[in-house]
Structure formats: structure tokens, C-alpha cells
Amino acid sequence: MRSLTEEETKVVFEKLANYIGRNIAFLIDNANDPHVFRLQKDRVYYISEKIAKFATSVSRSQLMSVGICFGKFTKTGKFRLHITALTYLSQYAKYKIWIKTNGEMPFLYGNHVLKAHIGKMSDDIPEHAGVIIYSMNDIPLGFGVSAKSTNEARNLQPTAIVAFRQGDIGEYLREEDTLFT
Amino acid sequence: MGRRAKSKQGLPPTFEEIQAEKERKQNKNKRSAESDRGDSKKSKSNGKSNGKSNGKPSKDNKSKGKPKYEKKVREDVVEDAADLPQVDLEELSSAKKSLFDESEEEEEEDINDEFDLEDANEDEMFDSDEEGRERPMFSDDEEDDLETLNAANMEEYSRRLEQEEAEEAEEAAKELQESQIQPRAKVLPSDEELAVLGNGPQDVTMVRTRMIEIVKVLENFKDLAEEGRSRTEYVNRLLSDICEYFGYSEFLADKLFHLFSPSEAMEFFEANEIARPITIRTNTLRTRRRDLAQALVNRGVNLQPIGSWTKVGLQVFDSQVPIGATPEYLAGHYILQAASSFLPVIALDPQENERVLDMAAAPGGKTTYISALMKNTGCVFANDANKARTKSLIANIHRLGCKNTIVCNYDAREFPKVIGGFDRVLLDAPCSGTGVIAKDESVKVSRTEKDFIQIPHLQKQLLLSAIDSVDANSSTGGIIVYSTCSIAVDENESVVDYALRKRPNVKLVETGLQIGKEGFTSYRGKHFNSKLSLTRRYYPHTYNVDGFYVAKFKKIASSPHDVSKAGAQEKESLARSEAEEEGIIHDDFAEFEHDEDAAIIESSVKRNLKRKGINPHAKKEKEKAL
């Protein structure tokens, strides 16, 4: 386990900025309980500094997970967000889309968000911006990228895609074997 | 007996009981017939017409069955009957009327009488009811005579009444005795039957009936046992029937049977055939129980809080959607967790800002509960020795949003070498699973004697490691909780007792759990520390949770073991050598050193001779002289 290099930090923060924008500041500047990013194998974890210190006593090969996993670096050096980061993403989300009850299950099965399923959405979403998907009773269901801006989306067909799915909580069941190793 | 049980029909009498009852009836009929004959003779000699007395015997017989069993309950009625001749005729005729009104019913009762003996004995309501109706019946017996009652036959009549009365009283006493001592039924199969039984599969209902009968005998062995049969014979038959009926290996059936009284054991084995209710635990990091219940009810789930002892548990009765795949489940609002798994965490009672170790954490039900109780503060080390199982552990931790966990993959005996000084340690030890047979049937046959040596061996080492990993000077904690999902004493009380012997710096404390039975302080000749009554046992048949065991320690002082750098291998070899050493002392106590003994024997022989005044050397000199 080690802290991220400058380059790695840049890649991770660029990705996060898509979803939470300037709220990234809240992640790194927490005066009374400072949190840090740590890299273990190819995964990036976000934890309280205190816990990170305790975790140093566990050897690298035996440390399976610490705090919340944000995602992993691919072999090509890109950073991919995991659904496990949703806890923090939903907390600091910039753009939000709420989907109706009839759209919940299709989304949790890995489908994109259709116009017909949208209950409400933030007013100022631009095209290709990171959005967090919620159910109508404010349960975070996943995240994705908007296909159209809010204004354009208003005039779409019911079957048209409004947001491309990138991660949803259905992965806890579907991807259990690959997500956590 | 509850009100409900009272209104139900009791158990049917056994064949033997019915038979005995019949015989008794016949005997009595004979006797009363005889006495009547005697009466008629007397009345003849008195010069009375015998026409009426001839018709009487049959009538007497018919009505006899009734008063007889009524007497058994209340003898004072007899006295009332004796007073009857003085009763005035008007009252009698009214009684007669009432009798006719109910004649059909009474006859019915006469018939039922035979079958409902036990019921009637138990049922007070029935009796008191009967009493009122019963009285006219007595007068009816004598009705014919009363009509012709005159000074001439008065004496003879009263004598006959007295005689009958005495007879009935005698019978009532006899019957009272008989009802207490039921006929000793033959429940054990004879040798010939045994030979047949060995040949192939048995009739399941027959085996079941026999089991119930044997349990009944064992409950009251002194009175019910067949003569010449020992208790062991009954127990052995019952055990082999249990193996046959429920499919246990003989070894395991024997082990589990002796934890309970026979009837309780039967309840336990039967409870193991039924699945426990599905329960879920609310994740208080994400939601509240009321909100969750509401959300799930809207999805068509029928649920209800588990009990007053937990504020986060919900019991699911039935559901229209898969309970493990609802959006609420995926969002981490709840986790599927057996009710018994709440108990060790409730006992552990983790506080905020503490450092806690869960030594065998997968699949994370307890770890996430600890984390939720600490409100994501402090630090939870979740360890599991099995790498594959850490996957589900990590999944659950992330799904439920526990941010304060560290997941590691050590042999738990490596602690405290890895890191020690915890405020609290939870050891939910790997076990044989005899408490969760309902969940995993394979336990019934797969567990052997070897398992009950190896598993406790590991558990002892784990528990010592757990104790050593705790900081005795912790201001808030210093707590160790040991739990298993087994009910075997080898894995519970004897492990805890071992730890108390090896680590005098810990003591058992109250678990703080509202339910549960006390742990054993002695079991089949083994005696444990008296404090073991503070530990708690849970059985499927008493609380409808999985079989479980919880013990809570408090560490009161540090020990040199706390700073030891021994890893799992060192501990294993240490424990092995220790077990070997103990084994030598326990099994073959000592060997005789014949050479050393010879010298001691010789000297003591000499001393004895001297005491008797014989010179031990004199003999030798004699021999020399020869």
C-alpha cells in the first residue's frame, strides 16, 4: 500500500471531477478527520488517515481492502471508477437524474437510462457530463454520462437514451467475482 | 395446562389401557351380577316377589359403568347415594324426569367413558358438569325398589345399599391406584423383532411412534419401564431410532442427545428438520428500520420485527420479490443475516472510536453490524483466513457503506503478531456447525470424532490469540467475545474453560443478552469453572434461532503473551506439544520402574521384619550357613 504518485493523482482527480466537479475539495480537505488516497495493487482506496496508518501493519500480500475502493487503474494507465465509490459520489454529486419506479429494475439490470423512465433531472446538465442516478426516493442507484443536455433531452422520444450507464448497484450481484479481487 | 390445551381432546389411550379398562368392566359386571343373585335369593326367602329383582341385574349393569368412574373422581358422591332413601319422592320423580331428558346423552357418555378416561381425569370442567347430572342416576338405580319400599323390605334394602356402596368404594380405590400406575407397555422390540428390523428399511411411522413411547418411558422410568430392561437399553434403542428417522450418524446423535433431557432432545431433532425464518438486519448507516419496513412492504414483502431484544432485525414471512435482489438490498439498506448472528455483536457492544478486531469475519454480517454500531468511527479489522471468502466480505462492506474497515487475509492465530492492542475482539470461531443442521444437512453425517478433536484444538488457539490481542488497559473496552454456531460442549464450554485456565488475566462477564440459557458448569463428568453459567446457549427449539453459543470475557491485566511474536506455526507446535504432554498424564498415568521399585520394596520388607522383632539378616546368615 502506498500513496498515489503525482501522475496517478492527476488521472484519478480528472475522472472524479467529471462527477463531482469542484466538490473534490471536500474529499481532500477535511480538517477534523483528514482522508487520503492509497494505492494497493492496482486499486485506489479512500480512507481516513488514522485507518491508513493502522493498515500499514498489514503486509501487502494479505491486505485485501481498506476503507472504500474508488476504482482501479487499467493496464493502459487509465482510471476506471467502480460502483463502490457511489457512497462518496452521491454525497458530492453535481448533476443528478432521478428515475421512476418502472425504470429502476431495467437500470439495475445494466441498461442505459431512457427518456421514458426519467422522473426528474438537474436543469443544467451539459452533454457528456458525469451524472449520478437516483431512484425517486433518493436512493443512489448508479452513475453514468449524459447523452444529451437537459434542454435537448426535453424534446427526445420516450425510447431515446438520456444517460449512458457506467456503473449501477446491480453490479454487486452481477460482477461479484471480478469486482472485489 | 393452558386453556387451549384443555379444550382439546387428549391423547388417545394406548391399546393396553383400553384392554385393562375392558377387563375391569367385565370383572365388575360379574361381581355385581353375583351380588344381585345373592340379593334375589334373600328377597325370595323374605317372601318377596322376584319378578322385579329378576329384571334388575341387567339394569344395574347398564348403569354401573357410570357411577364407577364418577366415584374415582369424587367419593363423596357415594355418601349422597347412601342418603338417597330418605329423599322424598317428589324430588325423585323430578330427577327421573331429568334423567329421561338426557338419557341418550348419558348413554353416549357411557360409551365414550371407555375412550375418554384420561380426558375426563384431566378435565375439571367436565367433571363438575357431570356431578350435577350424576346424582339422579343413582336414584334411578333404586327407583324400582323405592316404589315398593315398605317396612318389610326396608332393612333388606338398606343392607343391599350398604353392600353396593362398600363394593363401589373398594373398586374406586383400586381404580385410583390403577390409574396412577399405568400398565407397563412393551415398547422395546423383542429379539426376534430386532432381527427383522435389521434387514431393511423400517416403517417410518412405526419408528416415530416407538421414539415417542420410549421418550415417555424415559421421562418416568421408575413407573413405566418394562421389568428387566435397563435404561441404557431404552436410550440405545432411541438413539438408533433417531439415526434411522432423522438420518444422523450414530456418533453425532449420541453427542447431541446427551445435551438435553429425552423429550427436549426430541424437540431439538425435530426443530432441525424445519428451516429457521428468514431474517434481515437494517443497516443503520443507510436507513432506519421503520423506513426500510415501509419500503419493503410496498414491494409486497410481509415482515415483522424479530423481537424486543433487537432494534434492527426484521423477520420476513413471505415475499413476492426475491429478498436478496431488491433495489433496497443493492443499495445496502439491509443484509440477510440469521437472528443468531446478531447476538455476539450485541454482546460485544462496540463503542464509537474504538479499534475492534473480527477474527473470522466472512461474509461480513457481523463486521458490518459492528461498523454500524460504531457509526463508521474508529477502526474495524476484518480478518478471514479464506481468501475466496474475503470476496463476499469486501462486497458486503462496500455495499453497506462501511468506511472504517480494513480487510486482511491472515491465519487468525497470527494476531497479535500482526497488530495487537485492540479495544474489543470478536471471535466467531469456525465450528462443526451442529447448531445450524437445519441450514446444512450434511453435518448430520459428515462430522466424526476426529472433527471434535481438531476443531476445538484450533478454537483454543484462536481464543488465546484473541485474548492476547486485546489491550487490558483500554479505557472503554478490553472485551473478548467468543461465539460458535455449534451446541457441542467440546467446542464451547470446554474451550472457554481452557482459556480461563491458560489466561488467568481474563474473567467471564455477563453477556448483556436478554435471552439465552446458561452455559453448563459440568457435563458428563467434566467440571468447568463455575463462572461458565455467565455464558449463553441458544437452541433452535427454544428460541427459533440457530443453535448458538456466546461467551464474553473481560481482560483485567496484561500478560507476557501479549507481546509474544509467535506466529500461527509456533502456536500450533506449542499447542501440539502441550496436548501431548497432557495426554501422557491423562492416558497412561505412569510406568513402573521395576529396578528402582525392587530396592524400595526390599528396604520396606526389612523394616517390617525389624518391627516384628525379627532380624532380617538372621535369615541370610542361616542361608549362608547352609
Q: What is the pLDDT of residues B603-616, one digit of tens each?
A: 999 999 888 888 87
Q: Cα–Cα distance between B335 and B312 in angstroms, integer? A: 11
CA-based nearest distance B572→chain A, Å? 20
Lowest mean pLDDT among A66-75, B136-145, B286-295: B136-145
> B518 and B537 in contact (C-beta within 8 Å)?
yes
Fold that domain B285-337 belongs to in CATH: Alpha-Beta Plaits (3.30.70)
Nearest beta carbon to residue A62 from set B328, B391, B410: B410
| Beta-carbon count within 10 A of B157 CB | 19
Min Cα–Cα distance to chain A from B396, Å: 9
Which of A174-178, B133-137, B374-378, B394-398 is the least confident region? B133-137
User: End-to-end alpha-carbon separation of chain B, Å?
Assistant: 92
Assigned fold of B349-574: Rossmann fold (3.40.50)
* Cα atoms in the Cβ-side hemisphere of radius 13 Å centred on B62: 12
Cβ–Cβ gap B327/A108 under 8 Å: yes
Residue B166: band (very low, low, confident or very high) from pLDDT cuts 50, 70, 90: confident
Please give the backbone phi and psi of residue B241, each rounded to the nearest 5 degrees, phi first.
Answer: -70, -40
Mean pLDDT computed over B97-117: 43
Q: How far is CA A77 from CA A11, A42, A145, A179, B82, in A?
A: 9, 10, 21, 18, 111
pLDDT-above-70 percentage for chain B: 72
Instruction: Please report the DSSP string for B500-549 in residue order.
Output: HHH-TTEEEE----SS-EEPPSEETTEE--GGGGGSEEE-HHHHSS--EE
How many Cβ atoms are within 10 Å of A115's Cβ, its own excluded?
A: 19
Please give the pLDDT value at position B36: 52
pLDDT, position B109? 43
The answer to whether A176 contacts B395, with C-beta atoms less than 8 Å apart, is yes
Q: Which three cell numbers stand for residue B527?
A: 467440571
Q: In Å, how far are B420, B422, B468, B470 from B415, measured between CA atoms?
A: 7, 10, 8, 10
Instruction: Say yes or no: A110 contacts chain B, CB-CB below 8 A.
Output: no
Q: What is the mean pLDDT of chain B?
A: 79
- Other beta carbons less than 10 A from residue B602's beta carbon: 11
- How far apart CA B527 and CA B493 sit, in angstroms, is 10
Which alpha helices (H) appear in B74-190, and where do they start and end?
Answer: 76-83, 89-101, 103-115, 117-122, 124-147, 151-180
- Distance, in Å, from the CA atom of A52 to the CA atom of A36, rounded to the nearest integer, reads 8
Q: Which residue has the higher pLDDT, B244 or B287?
A: B287
The closest of B483, B489, B531 to B506, measured between CA atoms, is: B531
**Is pLDDT above 60 for B94?**
no
pLDDT digits (tens, 9 = 90+) for B225-266: 888 888 888 899 899 889 989 999 999 999 999 999 999 999
Q: Which residues of B touch A137 (CB under 8 A)?
A: 295
- CA-CA distance, B361 to B64, in Å (whole number)? 74
Q: Helices (H) and strands (E) in chain A — how many of each?
A: 8, 12
Mean pLDDT calculated for residue range B333-347: 94
Does residue B485 have an active-site annotation? yes
Peptide bond before residue B416 is cis, with ω within 30 degrees of 0: yes
Q: Does A138 touch chain B (CB under 8 A)?
A: no
User: Do residues B557 and B472 lie in contact, with contact meaning Cβ atoms separated by under 8 Å?
Assistant: yes
Q: Which residue is listed with cell 354401573?
A: B64
Q: What is d(CA A95, CA A150) in angstroms, rounded to the nearest whole number?
A: 10
Q: Which residues contact B533 (CB under 8 A, 6 or more apart)?
A: B518, B519, B521
- All domains in chain A, ordered by first residue: 2-89 (3.10.450.220), 95-174 (2.30.130.10)
Read off the pLDDT of each residue in B491-496 and give the average, rounded to a whole number: 94
CB B428 within 8 A of CB B366: yes
d(CA B85, CA B234): 55
pLDDT at residue B305 greater than cutoff 90: yes
Mean pLDDT computed over B574-596: 73
Number of residues written out for chain B: 626
Using the predicted structure, report yes or no on whether residue B72 has a pLDDT greater than 50: no
CB contact under 8 A, A173 and B325: yes
Model confidence at B6, pLDDT cuts 50, 70, 90, reads: low
- B8-32 burial, b for 16+ CB within 10 Å, e for fewer? eeeeebeeebeebbeeebeebbeeb
Between CA B536 and CA B492 the distance in angstroms is 10
Q: Under a CB-based contact definition with an 8 Å cutoff, are residues B27 and B123 in contact?
A: no
Q: What is the DSSP string of A134-169?
A: EETTS-EEEEEEESS-HHHHHTS-TTSEEEEEEEET
Cell of B475: 479505557
Which of the following is catalytic: B243, B402, B431, B485?
B485
What does the alpha-carbon distance between residue B163 and residue B35 come to, in Å, rounded to a whole number? Answer: 9
Q: Which residue has the higher pLDDT, B468 or B130?
A: B468
Cα B396 from Cα B399, distance rounded (Å):
5
* Rounded average pLDDT over B139-154: 59
The whole-angstrom separation of Cα B319 and Cα B303 is 9
Residue B124 scores a pLDDT above 70? no
Ramachandran sector of residue A173 (left: φ over 0; alpha: ψ -120 to 50; beta: rest): alpha
DSSP for residue B181: S
Q: Which residue has the higher pLDDT, B504 or B7?
A: B504
Residue B275: DSSP 8-state: P
* Cα–Cα distance measured from residue B353 to residue B45, given in angstroms and rounded to the nearest whole number: 107
ipTM confidence score: 0.96
Helix (H) or strand (E) holding B267: helix B262-271
Between CA B407 and CA B389 the distance in angstroms is: 11
Residues B234 and B214: beta-carbon distance below 8 Å: yes
Q: Cβ contacts of residue B41 below 8 Å, gap of 6+?
A: none
Q: Specify the length of chain A in residues.
A: 181
Which of A55, A172, A177 is nearest residue B399 as measured by Cβ atoms? A172
Domain chopping of chain B, boundaries: 3-180, 191-271, 285-337, 349-574, 594-625
- CB-nearest partner of B419 from A47, A54, A87: A54
Residue B577: per-residue pLDDT: 86
Percent of chain B having pLDDT more than 90?
Answer: 48
How high is the pLDDT of residue B90?
53
Rounded Cα distance between B232 and B340, Å, is: 35
Of B331, B393, B409, the CB nearest to A139: B331
- For residue B103, what pLDDT is reported? 40
| B88, three cell numbers | 322424598
CB contact under 8 A, B399 and A141: no
Q: Does B327 touch chain A (CB under 8 A)?
A: yes
> Virtual CA dihedral for B94, B97, B99, B102, nearest 10 degrees?
-130
3-state secondary structure of B162: helix
B368 membership: H or E segment, kind and range: helix B365-373
Contact B398 A135 (CB under 8 A): no
- Report pLDDT digits (tens) over A65-86: 999 999 999 999 999 999 999 9
Contact B279, B307 (CB under 8 A): no
pLDDT exceeds 80 at position B125? no
Residues with Cβ within 8 Å of B548's Cβ and at least 6 positions away in sequence, in order, are B340, B343, B435, B483, B484, B485, B487, B537, B538
Q: Band of the pLDDT at B47, cuts 50, 70, 90?
A: very low
How is chain B split among helix, strand and coil, in percent rounded to 5? 60, 10, 30
Contact B218, B262 (CB under 8 A): yes
Predicted local confidence at residue B477, as pLDDT: 87
CA-nearest residue to B371 within chain A is A67
A60 with B406: CB under 8 angstroms?
no
Cα–Cα distances (Å) from B30 to A137, B23, B394, B477, in that order, read 86, 11, 84, 82
Model pLDDT, residue B119: 44
Rounded CA separation B466/B416 (Å):
8
Residues 6+ apart with CB under 8 A from A6: none
Q: What span, in angstroms and rounded, lies between the C-alpha atoms of B235 and B266? A: 12
A vs B, Cβ pairs < 8 A, gives 93
Per-residue pLDDT of chain A (181 residues; tens, 9 = 90+): 899 999 999 999 999 999 999 999 999 888 888 999 999 999 999 999 999 999 999 999 999 999 999 999 999 999 999 999 999 999 999 999 999 999 999 999 999 999 999 999 999 999 999 999 999 999 999 999 999 999 999 999 999 999 999 999 999 999 888 888 7
Q: Nearest 5 degrees, angle CA B580-CA B584-CA B587? A: 120
Cα–Cα distance for residue pair B153/B167, rounded to 1 Å: 21
Q: In angstroms, rounded to a whole number, what is the distance separating the alpha carbons of residues A73 and A52? A: 20
Residues 284-313, chain B, touching A (beta carbon < 8 A): 295
Mean pLDDT throughout B319-347?
A: 94
